[in-house]
Structure 1
Amino acid sequence: MDTLAKKYKQIDFAKIVDEVRVFAPATVANMICGFDILGFAVDYPGDEVHMYRVPEPGVRIRSIRGDDGRLPLDADRNTVSACVKALLEHLGLQGEIGVEIDLIKHMPIGSGLGSSSASTVAGLFAVNSLLGNPLTKDELLPFCVEGERLACGHGHADNVAPALMGGITLVRGYSPLDVIKLPVPNELYAGIVFPKVDVPTRDARQLIKEKVPLKDAVTQWGNIAGLIAGLYEEDYQLISRSMHDVLIEPTRAILIPEFYAMKDIALQAGALSFGISGSGPSVVAISKGKEGAEKAAALIQAHLTQCEIESLKYVSAVNVDGPKLIK
């Protein structure tokens, strides 16, 4: 048993509660120019986990709603229960604690909004809350990353970090895992549109080039640095100039119908920037103020309707809190 497990081996059983309900938010990964290192949380949509302490040791899923039957009820195959099991084993509690889980999906699977990460974060935050919060969010994060590995084969933190920590996060590195919270300008809003087309995460990732021209890499580095500077200075024009992707968007955009038409609509509507949320197909118009985000998202959705493409629309400020207990 490693140091962390030894540290928390003695759980205060008096602090364990019988039931918790947790909401964890959707996320916009990459933040257009920061592939695999930047992301932010939104207020809605997100996922819920209802967790119950039961006499029989082990982890079981009672039900899953909102997934159209696509997610496994097998506790070893579902990312929520698998991560909860891993955490209990890590704390030496696998034979002492029994929990059952209801998972409620409020967002589409494969939307590019961090569906799997929201569920995983909700589950881990729930079991930690049920146990009396023995672990900090920093200590929960590696378990969340492992959930992403189970879900899509790649253990990245650009979704789970903002979902767990709230706000805007930067993944500085993975060896060791180093996540930094960045400032959130007060008027930064996201107008998100999810076109109902399939863009599997694995397929989108396979299109990415392993090598890129040095010129493009330098451009991207400058954009990331400029975006971070803009966040610290609350300089919306610098944020706008910096949020451009020359590495990933040109390849992934071909998987999203009407992408460049939507981009033109968003920018003409006054958005600071426009791009792909995560691996897509959701797209995001980053705007100064809620009204601008609403306008851009509504115009994009209207265009998709004209093209006979169904879609969902969400408008949100940056969620600075992350997961929360539901009373």
Structure 2
Amino acid sequence: MSENVNKKDLELLEALQTGYSEILNEVNKIIVGQENIIRNLIISLLSKGHCLLIGVPGLAKTLLISSIAKVMDLKFSRIQFTPDLMPSDITGTEILEEDKTTGKKVFRFIKGPVFSNIILADEINRTPPKTQAALLQAMQEHEISIAGQTFPLDEPFFVLATQNPIEQEGTYPLPEAQLDRFMFSLFINYPSKEEEIEIVNSTTTGTEPFLNKIITKNDILELQHLVRRIPVSDNVVNFAVDLARKTRPDKNESSSFVNDFISWGAGPRASQYLILGAKVVAALNGRVTPDIEDVKLVAKPVLRHRIVINFNAEAEGITATDIINKLLST
């Protein structure tokens, strides 16, 4: 299908491959391991998606995403979500000040931390739904409205929200409709012993590696447009759509396993993200079009937070990931 891709796009694909390798090399100066997490974050960014990252404290989530921002020369903001955080603390607020030339009182809008390219929404489930909604609306619309005025957000715009899986007391779980706005749900695990030894050795010295800027904001925007232009064969689209539809109970194509253990399945947005993710996977591997294996590679992070298991599944210890594994094997 390479004949359907023009010469300029082929050059961009080659540049993406090279740039991806260089980005990994730079980030690995700071971050030990976590190659799969880094890859999925880049896939989501190039797909114009957002990520939900679940992991215990102390696994360098902030350092990871800030390092990626530095390497990509993007503006980075970290928002610590707390029970008293207000929507205006995220989006910004209007202040009343005096115009020195006219002496009149005028309102001036002060932009909040959401006006960045990469946002780390730390422990998003610790703030009330009203404040969560302010960020989630910005994620969907890439703009915010204040006092009747609309302000577009900086592009590219990427949100990485984190959740602590241990402490659930005093939290506000994201409802399924809002979880659906995240392209990926990722789990970050503890490092291996060898990786932890390397972490200790590299962080207890007085030296700090310098990160080089590999690509620019405009490069990323161009690559995001490139991803949309990558052709996909009908059989790959059909596979992605069928996979998403198989997660929905009470459908003709649903298996008894799905009907027994799932309350709600993935919606059409899952099918879209399966294809977009597969496109980026193919591009990172130097291919001009994705195949079914690329869809399978992104299936778990795309689907796991979109599947709502029922009491039967919980009673038998069956997780959404178990269900996805079974669907992929049939």
Considering the TM-score relative to the shorter chain, is it more than 0.5? no
> Which structure has the larger Rg over C-alpha atoms?
2
Structure with more of its chain in helix, by fraction = 2
* TM band (smaller chain): under 0.3
State the TM-score, normalizing by the size of structure 1.
0.28
Higher strand share: 1
